[in-house]
């Protein structure tokens, strides 16, 4: 919960003064009036006439102002249902006053909620929360993340404390009494390396990367021993993918088999672009600044590593040209939403017939050496982009026909490694990225303290060790039980609505209920993090040191690759987590039929035990409904209760479902920000989840309150709790975003921008319009609505 100090209220002194004056209004008026009457006798007739005229005009203006304000208030009040009558008073305890204050500060009551509910709920927040320097987005999620970072920082220690310890004690003897396991101590050591407590990052400069390039066989851009005669694509791809775990040309993992989710299988997919989406390469007119910034960034890094400026720039442009060719053969994500059509099971031998630019058996055998497993040509692999790999083979064949083409292929592969690890080098390398970041995001970054970056980096690397710290420090264990109850209520409301869906046939409806019941929910954290033995085993093979940040990251990449490949010999554990416990987020996994709600998000403003249920269900309840609905969105619905890709719906029902999802696509396609339309196909799954989650959570709340007395209102808020549910939902998404970051989100993100996550879902829910008395035809109550779940 947000805490306030006296400094936070410094700007409110004038308000307090007015209140104090009003407290002694009788005597003050009498004194002023008495003093004024003696002066009046001294005025001339002309002065008296002018004063009377001025007073009269002032009185008329005041009366007109009151009348206009009263009329505006009555218009707005017509949208509000009052629940206070007679002598009833709002809740006036400390918690209610605090909650009401936060809600009111975020709102803008001058906006008609039936025209723009996002602005009505969030304008005050946006005005009071400008984007901090160095950031491109700022919202309630980010504010909560920063609070979580403070908790972690407190335990891991601050930079200056660590520096003092370095002067007194050797690294191995530094006090770590707050850390309960070896894994947590590794997290602290890695955090120290990121903070560069020994100043080794700046001392080493470019040397760690130069040494790595030489190990990879050299780079034509620098004087590092590159010799085309001894070079082979097979070797460089195996080295970069299977030793340094860097994607290039394609990506592969060991994952659950979509059609048999009880086993792990090799999977391969399209990859290889440095910029966020293919559009940045193909739409050169719109994205010319980004492409220029990308070339400038590549050139600066190449020069820092010893390259000559003009030669480096020319060769880096050739790499961009190659990536542009990759973009041309990459399928847009919006066209990759049908899981059934993406799934192509074949053997390693089949893959070689389609894409001959690599010896795939040799490649995967090289990878599996880490886990002592043999691979033959009959090994099964799921190929998600067979057309891309076929076209890639033709493209590489073209490049390998010339000496310059082979040099570009090596330059591209080495660049993939350089760009990943250059962030672990000295400040000059980090500064080189600022121009590209500004072009992409509208902000150079780098303004916030280094410790914040390092806390986040440590969480990315040793997330479960950090999770153990976070849970121990702030997470209330009873929150797990309360969250479980809320999930069950939302699930029951979601299932109950099935009978109202006329487009579903009875058999599919029954199967959908079974699947909804089968969705497992993981709350707070995985149990193993509270067992120091199990937690230590998790990171047993990871080696980190407090004075080798660059090498630590190489070790981490290899460790992550090893952990992924080890799964090929294991049965699937459907209780594993893919997200660190301190993360402010949640997710659903279709192959596990599992939804996960980390401890990081089970906090205000999403959830708080002191909140009225209307706020908890409007915040966390909608998040739960959202993840639940993902099991039934356009992709999730293709997986059955066991997490298998399976044709378990009747064809007629599928047709009617697709007709309803088309309505959602068309609706969101019309939304526009900065003259750029949202992509309704790309965001379809998230939009379905937003709509379904909101509806399920609201009906779960109504069911919870059924038969109970109307809760006390909150002070100063002329809203009942059904209306507060919708305000809480909207205020979760209050945010500010730069123009560039918004454009990037529209290009890449599967989620709609925050404003339309609110407006889109609410305008489809008739219960919302009923509560706020929105007339049919207003923006928040269109005549034609979209409904899937």
Residue 775 host element (H or E): none
Yes or no: say if 622 and 732 are a contact pair by the CB < 8 Å rule: yes
Taking CA atoms, 35 is separated from 6, 26, 46, 56, in Å, by 38, 15, 21, 21
Q: What's the token pair of residue 555?
A: 């070790």
Q: How far is CA 151 from the centre of its chain?
A: 20
Segment 443-448 long-range contacts (CB within 8 Å, at least 24 positions apart): 443/131, 443/133, 443/134, 443/135, 443/136, 443/738, 443/740, 443/741, 444/134, 445/134, 445/135, 445/136, 446/134, 447/132, 447/133, 447/134, 447/135, 448/132, 448/134, 448/135
DSSP code, position 11:
G
Catalytic member of 192, 457, 627, 740 = 627
DSSP per residue, 461-481: HSHHHHHHHHHHHH--THHHH
Taking CA atoms, 379 is separated from 254, 347, 361, 516, 566, in Å, by 13, 5, 9, 34, 16
Yes or no: say if 691 and 761 are a contact pair by the CB < 8 Å rule: yes
Rg, the chain, Cα only: 31
Catalytic member of 256, 257, 690, 747 = 690
Q: What are phi and psi of 44, to 5 degrees?
A: -75, 170
Taking CA atoms, 327 is separated from 109, 314, 606, in Å, by 47, 20, 39
Tell me how crowded residue 35 is: count the other CB atoms within 10 A of its CB: 9
What is the Cβ-side half-sphere exposure of residue 664, based on CA atoms within 13 angstroms?
A: 28
CA-nearest of 778, 753, 781 to 672 is 753
3-state SS, one letter per residue, for 637-682: HHECCCCCECCCCCHHHHHHHHHHHHHHHHHHHCCEECCEECCCCC
Q: What are phi and psi of 378, to 5 degrees?
A: -90, 0
Q: Please state, in angstroms and rounded to a whole number, the distance separating the CA atoms of residues 196 and 217.
A: 29
Is residue 398 annotated as a catalytic residue, yes or no?
A: no
Strand 520-524's sheet: what is its strand order? 520-524, 594-598, 587-589
Yes or no: say if 277 and 330 are a contact pair by the CB < 8 Å rule: no
Q: Is 340 left (phi over 0), alpha (psi -120 to 50) or beta?
A: alpha
Q: Is 200 exposed, middle or buried (0-12, 13-18, 19+ CB in 10 A)?
A: middle
Is residue 690 annotated as a catalytic residue, yes or no?
A: yes
Yes or no: say if 596 and 522 are a contact pair by the CB < 8 Å rule: yes
Yes or no: say if 468 and 535 are a contact pair by the CB < 8 Å rule: yes
Catalytic residues: 627, 690
């Amino acid at each position: 919960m947000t805490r306030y100090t006296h400094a936070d209220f410094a700007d409110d002194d004038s308000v307090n003064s007015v209140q104090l004056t009003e407290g002694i209004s009788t005597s003050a008026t009498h004194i002023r009036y008495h003093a004024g009457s003696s002066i009046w006798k001294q005025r001339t007739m002309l002065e008296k006439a002018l004063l009377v005229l001025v007073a009269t005009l002032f009185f008329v203006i005041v009366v007109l102002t009151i009348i206009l304000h009263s009329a505006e208030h009555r218009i707005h009040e017509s949208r509000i249902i009052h629940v206070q009558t007679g002598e009833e008073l709002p809740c006036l305890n400390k918690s209610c006053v605090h909650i009401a204050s936060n809600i009111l500060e975020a709102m803008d009551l001058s906006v008609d909620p039936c025209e723009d509910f996002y602005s009505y709920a969030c304008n005050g927040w946006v005005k009071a929360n400008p984007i901090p320097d160095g950031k491109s987005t700022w919202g309630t999620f980010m504010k909560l993340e920063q609070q979580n970072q403070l908790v972690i920082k407190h335990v891991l220690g601050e930079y200056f404390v660590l520096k003092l310890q370095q002067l007194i004690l050797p690294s191995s003897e530094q006090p770590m009494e707050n850390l309960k396991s070896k894994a947590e101590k590794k997290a602290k050591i890695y955090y120290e390396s990121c903070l560069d407590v020994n100043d080794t990052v700046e001392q080493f400069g470019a040397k760690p990367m130069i040494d790595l390039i030489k190990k990879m066989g050299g780079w034509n851009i620098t004087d590092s021993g590159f010799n085309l005669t001894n070079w082979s694509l097979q070797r460089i791809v195996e080295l970069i993918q299977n030793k340094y775990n860097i994607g290039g040309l394609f990506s592969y993992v060991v994952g659950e088999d979509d059609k048999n989710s009880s086993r792990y299988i090799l999977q391969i997919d399209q990859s290889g672009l440095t910029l966020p989406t293919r559009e940045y390469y193909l739409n050169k007119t719109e994205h010319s600044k980004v492409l220029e910034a990308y070339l400038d960034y590549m050139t600066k890094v190449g020069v820092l590593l010893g390259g000559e400026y003009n030669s480096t720039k020319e060769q880096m442009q050739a790499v961009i040209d190659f990536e542009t060719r990759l973009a041309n053969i990459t399928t847009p994500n919006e066209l990759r939403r049908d899981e059934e059509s993406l799934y192509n099971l074949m053997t390693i031998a089949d893959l070689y017939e389609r894409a001959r630019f690599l010896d795939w058996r040799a490649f995967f055998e090289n990878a599996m050496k880490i886990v002592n497993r043999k691979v033959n040509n009959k090994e099964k692999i799921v190929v998600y982009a067979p057309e891309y790999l076929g076209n890639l083979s033709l493209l590489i064949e073209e490049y390998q026909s010339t000496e310059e083409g082979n040099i570009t292929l090596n330059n591209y592969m080495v660049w993939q490694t350089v760009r990943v690890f250059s962030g672990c080098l000295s400040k000059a390398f980090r500064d080189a990225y600022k121009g590209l970041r500004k072009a992409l995001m509208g902000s150079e970054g780098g303004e916030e303290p280094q410790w914040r970056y390092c806390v986040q980096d440590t969480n990315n690397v040793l997330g479960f060790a950090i999770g153990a710290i976070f849970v121990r420090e702030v997470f209330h264990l009873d929150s797990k039980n309360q969250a479980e109850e809320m999930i069950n209520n939302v699930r029951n409301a979601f299932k109950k609505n099935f009978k109202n869906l006329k487009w579903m046939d009875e058999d599919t409806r029954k199967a959908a209920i079974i699947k909804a019941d089968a969705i497992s929910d993981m709350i707070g954290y995985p149990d193993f993090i509270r067992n120091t033995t199990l937690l230590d085993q998790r990171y047993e093979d990871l080696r980190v040191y407090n004075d080798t940040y660059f090498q630590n990251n190489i070790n981490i990449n290899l460790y992550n690759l090893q952990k992924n490949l080890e799964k090929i010999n294991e049965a699937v554990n459907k209780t594993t987590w893919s997200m660190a416990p301190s993360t402010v987020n949640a997710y659903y996994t279709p192959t596990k039929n599992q939804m996960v709600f980390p401890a990081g998000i089970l906090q205000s403003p999403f959830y708080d035990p002191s909140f009225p249920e209307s706020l908890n269900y409007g915040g966390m309840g909608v998040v739960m409904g959202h993840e639940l609905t993902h099991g039934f969105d356009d992709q999730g619905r293709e997986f059955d209760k066991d997490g298998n890709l399976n044709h378990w719906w009747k064809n007629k029902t599928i047709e009617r479902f697709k007709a309803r999802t088309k309505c959602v696509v068309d609706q969101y396609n019309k939304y526009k920000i900065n003259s750029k339309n949202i992509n309704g196909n790309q965001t379809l799954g998230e939009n379905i989840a937003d709509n379904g989650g909101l509806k399920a959570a609201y009906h779960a709340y109504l069911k919870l309150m059924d038969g109970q007395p109307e809760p006390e209102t909150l002070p100063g808020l002329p809203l009942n709790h059904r209306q507060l549910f919708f305000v809480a939902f909207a205020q979760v998404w209050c945010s500010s975003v730069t123009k560039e970051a918004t454009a990037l989100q529209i290009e890449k993100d599967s989620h709609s921008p925050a404003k339309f996550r609110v407006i889109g879902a609410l305008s489809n829910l008739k219960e919302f319009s009923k509560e706020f008395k929105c007339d049919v035809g207003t923006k928040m109550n269109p005549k034609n609505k979209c409904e899937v779940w």
